[in-house]
Every structure is written in C-alpha cells, then in structure tokens.
C-alpha cells in the first residue's frame, strides 16, 4: 500500500474511526503513536504505552518478526495473545498494516463478539447518525443496510436500497463501468479504496463527493461511505481565487509604469502620423489607437484590484444608490428595447456602511453585464429585499442568453469573459468589493432563459439596534 502521505492519513483515520474494533498506530519500535476509543476501552490503560505492555512473549516475537522485516508497504493477519482491560487474556486475530510513508504500523484487533457488545452498540449508533451516507454491502454485492442519510443525499427511501445490488449506487453517482472496475480492484488489493467524484444531481445542483469503501475480512462485508465535500471545496476554491486576485494586483502594480511608458510613446507617434497619413493609413492608425485605449482600460482595471482595501467609509442608502445607477442606464436600455423593472418592496431602511463609490461600480458592472447579455430586447428586473437574517438582498435578473454550468463556475476568475471585448476583470472586482463589505454574491443561470446575480450585504441598522439594546441593558442595571 504505497499511498501518498495524505491518502495514508485518510486511510488511518478511517480505521481509527471504527468504534467497533480496537485500533492503534505504532512506530516500528512498538511505541503507541495513536489509538482509538475502542482500544482505550478494551485494551488500554494509562500504563499502556507500547506493544509489550499488553501482549505475551510469543506475540511480541511475532510483532518483532513483522516490524523488522518489512521494507515496503505490506499487510498480514496474525494471532496474538492480548490482555484485555479486564485483565483477562484472550487470543485474537490482528490485522497488521505497514505504511512505508511515515514508517508506521496500524494494528486492528478483532476481539471476540462477547467483548464487543458495548462497542457494537456504539458502532450502530455511529452508523445511523453519521453525517455521511453509509451502506453495508455483502460479498455478493447486495446492500444489507443504509443509514439515515439516504434521503439527504439522494431523496430516496431506505427501501430503494436494501436488498438491491450495489450497482444502484454507481448509477446514482454516474460512475462509468471502467472506473468502477479500477475502484473494485483497489478494494481487492488493499482492502480499501477512495475517490473524489463530481456528481451532477440536477442541472443546477453539483456535488463534490469523497467516496470510500472498506472491506472487513472478519464479516466479509463492505462499508461504503459518501462524504459531501462540496462546501469545503467551494471554500478552497474561494481561497485560491483570492490568491489569484492578489497575484493580478501585484502584477499590475509592478508593471504599470513599464507598460504605460511605451503606450504613451505609441500614442504620441500615432498623433504625429495622422498629420501626413492617407485616408487608408488613418483607418489603420485608428485601429492602433483603439487597441492602445483597450490596453489602458485593462491596466486600469488591474490596478483597481491592486489598490488597498482601506477606503473611506460612509453611511448611505443602498436603495437610493441602486435607483441612481439604474437611471444612468435607462437611455441605453430604451435604445436597445430593454425594459428595466424596479420592484418596490416597501423597505423602510436600506442603510449600509462602506464605500459608496465602490458599490456604485459594482452595481454599474452588474447592470451593464445584464444589458449586454440581452441582444434583442428583454427585461432587467431589480429587487431589494430583506432575508431572514435581516440582511439586504439585491437581485439583478435579466432575460438574456444565459450561461452554462462551466461558465457560471468560471465567471469570477480573473481574465475569464464570455464577451469578445471583455477584459475578464469586472466580476473579480465585484466579488472582491462585496467581500470587503462583509457580503456575498451568488449567480444562477440557464442557457436561453437568463441570469440572476444575488448580492447580500449587512444592514447598518443591525449594529444600531445592538447598541440600543446594550444601552437599555445598562440603564436597567
């Protein structure tokens, strides 16, 4: 089992998580490095620090033969005489697994059933109430049981799974035959397999699942587990995205001077050339000047991303700002046959604290993107509501061409643009600004239907009310 270090750690964690069987991690010298709760309950005590503390001489000799001869990742099953926490001695089967990465030995002790009553109950409880989807499958591929997460993960009843072949799981997870065969081979070879799987449950719902399967030699049963890693991977992507924004900003700040100098020179020479150029040459000079302006625009947007986040804060009405920015676009919308609808939801107070200039730019970017997505008329709908957490929610919905899932997943990445003339820096700026204001932004889109951007920002009134409540408490003593 020559796994990489991270996979070894995950595999060992899976073994240690089993509440039904004592398990411990040893160094090659027999020192206990880590043990699970079942080991502490059944075999350990405060004085159990190494293998020689709870096995007899013959078993210790068996251990030494294994630990001194392993050179690569190996596994074996041996009989050992162990002393239980009750001082009783018994012969048990022990699975020894050596990992070359970290030079560790994991020992799993298969205690007699009579010693496992309490742990068995704990196992059933852990199985039933796990946050992961779990299934028990026999060596013929029949599902014997599933835990309570069948509805959460698949919206299907328990009866759908129990008694059926395990391939119903591969069908639900859209696993191809070749991938399943490779996965099964790993289980046969190592007793364990794992895989990350991206599963599209519906056109608008994609999950990232971490799937593991462990084979229990004693019962000849497979424990199949699916852990939802969607939220964690989303956060990891956000962190990577922030890092990329920072890189773009640093790059812009470092090269701005070097780029602007030759651009200024080019502008000067094109102006000189205009005086003596023919009509045809002027056409080419105009193209050059347009491209120089485009380069300057890209550089300016990069520099915006590089500016420090500390800016002057003020208190302003988000509703008033939305109304003002929408009015700026009314002439353009009318010319292109686009209707702008602003729903009045009767909110009495939409005050927020932050940089009004930056929020203006955010709204302008989102409104312009919406208009540009509607090539032959359409409707732009703007809503301001308050959610259950008493945050302000601005929804900007267009009836444009929409985006597919891949485009939605990439739109906040620097330099990604679905527009031919786009720089791909407008939405990264939007995301950066909203996060600076302790808010969130999400997007939903369907090709041929349209797109909705939803911006959530904290209301200033919440802070004011909190201060008033604290003041009242002080006055009341």
Which CATH number goes with the domain that contains 425?
Answer: 3.30.565.10
**Is 329 found in the same domain as 448?**
yes
- Judging by beta carbons within 10 Å of its beta carbon (0-12, 13-18, 19+), is residue 79 exposed, middle or buried? exposed
Please tell me the pTM assigned to this model: 0.43
CA 469 to chain centre: 37
- pLDDT class of 7 with cuts at 50, 70, 90: confident
Residue 416 vs residue 312, higher pLDDT: 312
Domain edge (last residue) among 86, 110, 134:
110
**Is 322 found in the same domain as 438?**
yes
Query: 149 is in which domain, residue-wise?
Result: 118-233
Total domains, the chain: 4
- Judging by beta carbons within 10 Å of its beta carbon (0-12, 13-18, 19+), is residue 446 exposed, middle or buried? middle
Strands 205-216, 440-446: pairing is: unpaired
pLDDT in tens, 229-277: 877 666 656 655 555 566 656 666 666 666 777 777 888 888 888 888 8
Q: Is the pLDDT of residue 370 over 70?
A: yes
**Is 128 found in the same domain as 52?**
no
**Is 202 found in the same domain as 267?**
no
User: Residue 252: what pLDDT?
Assistant: 61
**Is 395 found in the same domain as 330?**
yes
Q: Is the pLDDT of residue 475 over 50?
A: no
**Is 258 found in the same domain as 215?**
no
**Is 330 found in the same domain as 281?**
no
**Is 452 found in the same domain as 335?**
yes
In the chain, what percentage of residues exceed pLDDT 70? 79
Residue range 266-293: average pLDDT? 83
**Is 360 found in the same domain as 301?**
no
Residue range 348-357: average pLDDT? 86
Domain edge (last residue) among 306, 332, 366:
306
**Is 454 found in the same domain as 329?**
yes
**Is 137 found in the same domain as 214?**
yes
Domain edge (last residue) among 74, 90, 110:
110
User: Residue 477: what pLDDT?
Assistant: 41
Please indicate, yes or no, if residue 465 is contained in any of the structural domains.
Answer: no
Q: How far is Cα 386 from Cα 399, in angstroms, rounded to an integer? A: 24
Q: Which residue has the tokens 């018994």?
A: 90
Three-state helix/strand/coil letters over the chain: CCCCHHHHHHHHHHHHCCCCCCEEEEECCCEEEEECHHHHHHCCCCCCCEHHHCECHHHHHHHHHHHHHCCCCEEEEEEEEEECCCCCEEEEEEEEEEECCCCEEEEEEECCHHHCHHHHHHHHHHHHHCCCEEEEEECCCEEEEECCCHHHHHCCCHHHCCCCECHHHHHHCCCCHHHHHHHHHHHHHHCEEEEEEEEEEECCEEEEEEEEEEEECCCCEEEEEEEECHHHHHHHHHHHHHHHHHHHHHHHHHHHHHHHHHHHHHHHHHHHHHCCCCHHHHHHHHHHHHHHHHHHHHHHHHHHHHCCCCCCCEEEEHHHHHHHHHHHHHHHHHHCCEEEEECCCCCCCCEEEECHHHHHHHHHHHHHHHHHHCECEEEEEEEEEECCCCEEEEEEEECCCCCCHHHHHHCCCCCCCCCCCCCCCHHHHHHHHHHHCCCEEEEEEECCCEEEEEEEEECHHHHHHHHHHHHHHHHHC
Please indicate, yes or no, if residue 346 is contained in any of the structural domains.
Answer: yes
User: Residue 215: what pLDDT?
Assistant: 86
Q: Is the pLDDT of residue 413 over 70?
A: yes
On whether the CB atoms of residues 434 and 453 are closer than 8 A, the answer is no
User: Residue 416: what pLDDT?
Assistant: 55
Please indicate, yes or no, if residue 366 is contained in any of the structural domains.
Answer: yes
Neighbours of 75 (CB within 10 A): 16
């Amino acid at each position: 089992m020559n796994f990489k270090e991270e996979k070894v750690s995950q595999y060992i964690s899976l073994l240690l998580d089993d509440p039904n069987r004592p398990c411990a991690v040893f160094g090659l010298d027999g020192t206990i490095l880590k043990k699970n709760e079942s080991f502490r309950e059944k075999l350990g005590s405060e004085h159990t620090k190494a293998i020689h503390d709870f096995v007899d001489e013959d078993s210790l000799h068996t251990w030494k033969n294994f630990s001194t001869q392993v050179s690569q990742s190996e596994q074996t099953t041996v009989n050992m005489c162990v002393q239980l926490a009750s001082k009783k001695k018994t012969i048990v089967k022990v699975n020894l697994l050596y990992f070359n990465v970290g030079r560790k030995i994991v020992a799993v002790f298969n205690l007699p059933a009579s010693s496992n009553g309490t742990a068995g109950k704990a196992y059933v409880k852990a199985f039933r109430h796990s946050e992961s989807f779990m299934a028990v499958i026999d060596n013929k591929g029949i599902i014997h049981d599933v835990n309570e997460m069948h509805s959460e993960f698949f919206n299907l009843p328990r009866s759908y799974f129990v008694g059926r072949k395990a391939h119903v799981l591969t069908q639900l997870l859209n696993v191809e035959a070749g991938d399943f065969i490779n996965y099964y081979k790993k289980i046969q070879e190592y007793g364990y397999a794992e895989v990350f799987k991206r599963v599209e449950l519906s056109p608008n719902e994609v999950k990232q699942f971490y799937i593991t399967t462990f084979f229990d030699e004693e019962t000849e049963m497979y424990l199949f587990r699916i852990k939802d890693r969607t939220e964690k991977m989303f956060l990891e992507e956000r962190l990577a995205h922030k890092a990329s924004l920072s890189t773009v900003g640093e790059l812009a700040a470092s090269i701005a001077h070097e780029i602007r100098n030759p651009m200024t020179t080019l502008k000067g020479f094109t102006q000189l050339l205009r005086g003596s150029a023919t009509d045809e040459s002027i056409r080419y000079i105009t193209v050059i000047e347009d491209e120089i302006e485009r380069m300057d625009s890209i550089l300016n947007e990069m520099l915006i991303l590089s500016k420090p986040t500390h800016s002057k804060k003020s208190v302003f009405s988000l509703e008033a700002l939305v109304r003002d920015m929408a009015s700026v676009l009314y002439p353009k919308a009318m010319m292109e046959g686009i209707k702008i609808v602003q729903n009045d939801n009767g909110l009495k107070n939409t005050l927020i604290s932050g940089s009004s200039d930056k929020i203006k730019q955010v709204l302008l970017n989102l409104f312009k993107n919406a208009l540009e997505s509607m090539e032959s008329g359409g409707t732009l709908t703007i809503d301001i509501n308050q959610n259950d957490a008493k945050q302000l929610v601005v929804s900007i919905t267009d009836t444009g061409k929409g985006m597919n899932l891949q485009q939605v997943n990439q739109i906040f990445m620097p330099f990604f643009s679905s527009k031919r003339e786009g720089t791909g820096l407008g939405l990264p700026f939007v995301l950066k600004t909203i996060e600076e204001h302790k808010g969130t932004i999400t997007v939903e889109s369907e090709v041929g239907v349209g797109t909705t951007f939803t911006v959530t920002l904290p209301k200033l009134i919440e802070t004011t009310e909190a201060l008033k409540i604290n003041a009242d408490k002080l006055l009341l003593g």
